[in-house]
Structure 1
Amino acid sequence: MITTMAGTGACPECGAATVSIREALPWCAGCEWNLDGYDRARQQPELGWSWIDRRTYRLAARLTRQQYATLVGRPLASTGWGVADALTVGVSLLLLVGVLALAVTGVWLLFAYPFPNFAVMVGLALIGLAAALRPRFGRVPADVEVLTRAEAPELHALVEEVASRIGAPVPHVLGVNADVNAYATAVGLRRRRLLCLGLPLWGALDGPARVALLGHELGHFVNGDVRRGPLTQPALTMLGSAADLFRPVPGTHGAGLVVLIGEWLGRMVSWTLSRVLFVGHLTLAATALRGSQRAEYLADEMSARAAGTTGATRLLDVMLRTDSVALAVRQGARGGHGPEAWRAGTARSLAAAADRLPLLRQLSVREETSLFATHPPAGLRHRMLTARSWQDPAVVLTEARTERIDAELTRHYERAGRIVAWEG
């Protein structure tokens, strides 16, 4: 429901009536006064203290707006490493050297002194710590069903066509799962490219939006996203792992005074180390994710290059309403219907919300702003695409081809539909 507030709800900047949707803090739809206001009732707490959350939100809002203003007037090309990327890589290398030093020191202590010796215990502890802090490069998730070319030749061909049109490499692994989402990532030490399509989302999209989704996700393989680089993974994961490792555990009960004092001192040291490491992790994440958000804008550009501006913006509008997509899929699956019904339900939902979409895009600018957000707000992404030169689609997915692709995925659609139906 949209509420338009007049009188006392007039915008102090331009005098227009303010608006509100979903009971959000009112703002001006014209000049966007108060759109960057901190809405405590609806904003997800991040650090746990409201006064800190308010200040970090304001900083994030300023950085997000500045980044948009910087990028909107120039070509969205991958320009290599920026200052934040270089800092992230530098910290990653230092962390890797530190973990290696722990392991080497631990091995040396095992053999440097005659056994038994207290140094052996210290050596084992250092080796265990190095093993716990080692970088994780991921693997194909267990919920991903890998699609071979023999099983889904039409889908593989479409992925290759889109990749060719936008100048991106094809994924090594193409898979599907039951999420209302899609993602592209790199797994393993060799950084094998993985593209995963969430079938509830894929099945609910029309042809242009499907091409846009592929263009966006494949664009992540060429847009310099720091989250996917082997030299940046340690900075984004290792300090967080260390903070968890040093988190205090509950003490014993009924022990003597000396033991209780020792446990209290140990918990204080552990808590301090854990908090310091966690703050370091948050600082690095907030720094690195500026580059990640820039990479999302470039991926959107790739999306528009593949599907045209119309297809790319339609995809963003669908992603604004993933709850409606999930509802359409759930209702269709419970009625025994497949992706045709999912697409029809999603289309009806978008049509019914047509008058609210501009406000939903604006509201996303407030509610999706965070120092730790991997994506810019959907409203700014939509605005970025429409502010740039209009693009016609390079790849057109016909109804006949869509039907052939869906036929290849019938068994997987049925499984995804059951999962979504049960989750409701």
Structure 2
Amino acid sequence: MESRSAAGTTSVRECPECGAAVPVDERYVDWCAACDWNVDPSAPDPEPGRIPAVRRRLAHAYGEQLAAEMERGGGRSRPVGRDAAALSAFALSLLVHGVTVVLAVSGLLLVVLGWDAGVQPVLGALLLGLAVLLRPRPPRLPKDAPVLYRADAPRLFELIDEVGTVVGTAGVDAVVVDPGANAAVTTYGWRAHRMMMLGLGLWEILPPQERVALLGHELGHFAHGDTRRGFVTGGAVHALATWFHMLTPIPSRGLLDWFVNAVTFLPRWAVYGLLVLLDHLTLRASQRAEYLADVSAAWAGSTEAATGLMDRMLIAPAVGPELRRESVAAGMRGGPSGREAREGAEQGLWERLAQRMGAVPEHEYERLRRVAARRGHSVDSTHPPTHLRRRCAAASGPYPAQVTYDEDRATAVAHELAPARAALAARVIRDHAG
């Protein structure tokens, strides 16, 4: 039983499970709000492997507990990084890096002192190479994305500084702009300069106050000291993961393969145990930091903007396909007219993206919220489930906006981002248009 609307884009059908009316839109999944029929027809498979499985179990164990703790505290919690678990994780990380230092020193001594014996310099070079592979490496500024400094975008940096003051931290030294539907903060270089990565695929689809909430969330990670993002602990996780990969058993095709697997059995499980322990010590703190970053988003942009931002993150995975569709459509025409089509596709790309994402109906948002609640930590162990984050952000307030993104500021920031927007629009269209 189906009746099509006059517009021809929506219809109503009967739910095959409970008989309730199901609105149908050819752009989105058909599902029943009454019984959740077809609410999640394409659930992704979890990341394979023992380590991701352990992380998901730990995340699930901590998720509800942390949410309840945050709600009891009205969105407040102990500062991340000052408890016994964080100190233990830091000590364990130093131990891991100590092994890397021992490898480097031993390799250097074998190379320098062992020239009289043929095998020692070779062994020393191998140890030095392994130490280089395991060393902690600070991130660098990307060479393939626009990078803005204060002189390039004074009003954008003024906005970031104002949000930083509200959430209790300093601003950043550089803003890296890319086309993705994401945002992040980290440090770069040995002097740990601060960097914010700002994805236009997310920034352009956000209403004004949700942009402020986004900046508050990302700067909140600096304010609350997310230990996993630190140079020492993050480097130790990288080193242990590298060890585990190198010690993975090889297919046994002969006696030598069997011998190598037997020799590496105990070291492999020792590394695995250390990884699990480091995850156990840091995952709770990392998830708490995510909750606190959401509270920072509410402080800066308002509670309404913070929860709206989480909804917008639910549709962020659709940004990539939309940009690819634009690129492919522009590339389907060849010759001079094809060049004109590509140039036309570059102009107004971000505005068209914002218009399409802004047309997502509430029915689809509600489906995505239910999907997030169903999946929980089953796929992503690094972030608490969205429904818990929304609940905690709402419980912490309501907070009014402490930083406003008025029309004058929006116009100035858009002008400063214009060169990056044009360059990234051209890149997006070229990716598939050729």
TM range (shorter): 0.7 to 0.9
Rounded Cα–Cα distance in structure 1 between residues aligned with 2:193 and 2:261: 41
> CA separation in 2, counterparts of 1:164 and 1:206?
22
Code of the residue aligned with 1:382 in structure 2: it is: R
Q: Distance in 2 between matches of 1:151 and 1:76?
A: 37
- Residue pair 2:184, 2:196 contacting (<8 A) in 1 also: yes
Q: How many Å apart are 1:338 and its aligned residue?
A: 4.3
Q: How does 1:189-268 map to 2 (within 5 A)?
A: 189-247=190-248, 260-268=254-262
User: Unpaired runs of 5+ in structure 2?
Assistant: 1-12, 20-32, 331-344
CA distance in 2 between partners of 1:3 and 1:381 (Å): 31
Structure 1 residue 383: deviation in Å? Answer: 1.0
Counterpart of 2:354 (choices 343, 358, 364) is 343
Choose 394-403 or 102-111, whichever is displaced more. Answer: 102-111
Distance 1:250 1:192, change over 3 A: farther
Choose the corresponding residue for 2:296, options 297, 302, 310. Answer: 302
In structure 1, the partner of 2:67 is 68
What's the offset of the Cα at 1:2? 11
Matched residue of 2:177: which SS?
strand
Counterpart contact for 2:81–2:87, Cα < 8 Å: no
Aligned mates of 2:209, 2:78 — CA distance in 1: 23
Instruction: Measure how far apart 1:107 and its partner are.
Output: 2.8
Alpha-carbon shift at residue 224 of structure 1 (Å): 1.3
TM-score using structure 2 length: 0.78
Match of 1:407 in 2: 415
Once structures 1 and 2 are overlaid, which stretch shifts more, 136-145 or 106-115?
Answer: 106-115
User: Does structure 1 residue 22 correspond to structure 2 residue 26?
Assistant: no
1:48-74 Cα deviation digits (max 9, x unpaired): 48xx95x87565433211121122111
Partner of residue 376 from structure 1, selected from 369, 377, 384: 384
- The residue that corresponds to 1:388 in the other structure is 396
Question: 2: CA distance between counterparts of 1:337 and 1:393?
Answer: 30
User: What amino acid maps onto 1:316 in structure 2?
Assistant: M
Aligned to 2:105: 104
What code does the residue aligned with 1:64 have? G
Summarize the Cα distance change of 1:199–1:43 in structure 2 as closer, same or farther, 3 Å threshold. Answer: closer
Deviation at 1:423, TM superposition (A): 5.9
- Supply the distance in 2 between the matched residues of 1:2 and 1:315 (Cα, whole angstroms): 33
Letter matched to residue 363 of structure 1: V
Structure 1 residues 124, 340: CA separation in 2 closer, same or farther (over 3 Å shift)? closer
For the residues of structure 2 that align with 1:399 and 1:338, how far apart are their CA atoms?
Answer: 21
Correspondence for 2:178: 177
Range with greater deviation from structure 2 (202-211 or 154-163): 154-163
Structure 2 CA distance for partners of 1:269 and 1:315, relative to 1, 3 Å: same
Counterpart contact for 2:39–2:367, Cα < 8 Å? no
CA contact (8 A) 2:182 2:199 kept: yes
- TM normalised by structure 1 equals 0.80
- Matched residues in 1 for 2:63 and 2:173: separation? 33
Once the two structures are TM-superposed, the CA of residue 232 in structure 1 deviates from its matched residue by 1.2
1:36 corresponds to? none
**Is the 2:136–2:232 Cα contact (8 Å) retained in structure 1?**
no
Q: Deviation of residue 290 (structure 1)?
A: 2.0
Mapped pair 1:321 → 2:315: yes
Aligned residue pairs total 387
CA contact (8 A) 1:173 1:193 kept: yes
- Listed as ranges, the matches of 1:161-172 within 5 Å are 161-172=162-173
What is the distance in 2 between the residues matched to 1:227 and 1:265? 36
Gaps of 5+ in 1: 8-15, 25-40, 253-259
Alpha-carbon RMSD: 3.3
Amino acid at match of 1:344: Q
Q: 1:325 to 1:113 in 2, by over 3 A?
A: closer
